[in-house]
Structure 1
């Protein structure tokens, strides 16, 4: 499956949409393809509005969070041209570490959109998103998510920035488990905030 460029500017900020396998001679399939494209386009347009005045540490108002969450909740794997039997999701025949594929859809100074394709047993290690509000949508399959937040009022040997996973090379900071569960699609879009919601997390397919 290829990736098709939809639009781009001279600064290299590209918008991509996954190519759908479509018979161009079939009007019915072409209309179906247009509907699939429109959901991705709607996601882009909604993000552009919600994060129009965003920056580091920006958290959208509740109404905008609900609006974007609703758009993501309606998104399905077919809308982005993905199927479970694609090479991205096949189990490796060797003992090598499963390869994770990232599909870049869009990126600008305000927000980015992308898809992580994880085959069975693939792991995205513990990481965080400093100053970011992140929406995550599971398109299909099952994912184990374990996430943490800093315990802000806990004593520590050094001063910590609650948005930074690596602020304390010489000290200890207490973190609390926010989520430790399996999620199976279809499920609700998850949201994490700069200092809440499990900003430090890891994923296991």
Structure 2
């Protein structure tokens, strides 16, 4: 009986040791995750609850506070990255690199790497809230919202130019504040042009999904005609600037190279 009891106790003892070892391994894994990235991940799980969810002003403020405090080092980045060095410097626009850090049905975390002069053409984010953090570099951003938010359904009038209000046409240099766009406001339709090599961290909630009607559309913008002789000029009305947006086929320079994410991993069981 004593031997059997001792064997049972030994099993319990071994299980306890294994549990402690597992906990130690979990702690080591968690300790390897930069706290900025881990806080961002945990906040996303609280904020994004699925289709139709738009973060509250308090949630937006908290998310921006986390992202504003994040650095390239939080993502394992440095300025001397191969992503920024296209092999062919002579032909065409350099291609953008894209990697996914984490994705679920409610949100995704991803990064874009743009060599100098690389472009992400004007595109939309239907039904999505997006936080963008410029981690490295200097970038020009141009962004629009539909002039009539109530008629923001992109399925209507694909071939007809639609009036849009210019929300941003500026150059940004890291470190800078996080930008936020909403399903119908904040510059939901935008383009990026890298002036220097750039790295951008994006939070999308919910992520793109063709099955759920959140596919990406591309646009060409032209100035809003405002002069009496019909010439195209930039129109300013009530202090706002407007332009025409025409949906187009996917531009050739919108194609990206998908790369494996090798940076810090988030800890789901933190």
- Report the TM-score when normalising by structure 1: 0.74
Q: How far apart, CA to CA, are the structure 2 residues paired with 1:83 and 1:130?
A: 32
- Residue 82 of structure 1 corresponds to 77
Q: How far apart, CA to CA, are the structure 1 residues paired with 2:107 and 2:180?
A: 14
Q: How far apart, CA to CA, are the structure 2 residues paired with 1:142 and 1:36?
A: 27
- Residue 162 of structure 2 corresponds to 173
Larger RCO (CA within 8 A; separation ≥ 6):
2
Q: How far apart, CA to CA, are the structure 2 residues paired with 1:149 and 1:77?
A: 30
1:59-96 Cα deviation digits (max 9, x unpaired): 11111111111110011001101112111112543223
In structure 2, which of residues 138, 143, 149 is the aligned counterpart of residue 147 of structure 1? 143
Runs of 4+ in 1 over 6 A off after TM superposition: none
Q: How far apart, CA to CA, are the structure 2 residues paired with 1:173 and 1:77?
A: 38
The alignment's C-alpha RMSD in Å is: 2.1
* Unmatched runs of 5 consecutive residues or more in structure 1: 1-30, 154-159
In structure 1, which of residues 112, 129, 153 is the aligned counterpart of residue 125 of structure 2? 129
State the shift of 1:167 in Å. Answer: 3.2
- Number of equivalences: 165
Which residues of 2 match residues 60-79 of structure 1 at below 5 A?
A: 60-79=55-74
1:137-166 Cα deviation digits (max 9, x unpaired): 00011010000011117xxxxxx84152x6
Q: How far apart, CA to CA, are the structure 2 residues paired with 1:55 and 1:118?
A: 30
Q: How far apart, CA to CA, are the structure 2 residues paired with 1:203 and 1:170?
A: 24
Distance 1:89 1:101, change over 3 A: same
State the shift of 1:176 in Å. Answer: 1.4
- Residue 41 of structure 1 corresponds to 38
- Residue 114 of structure 2 corresponds to 118
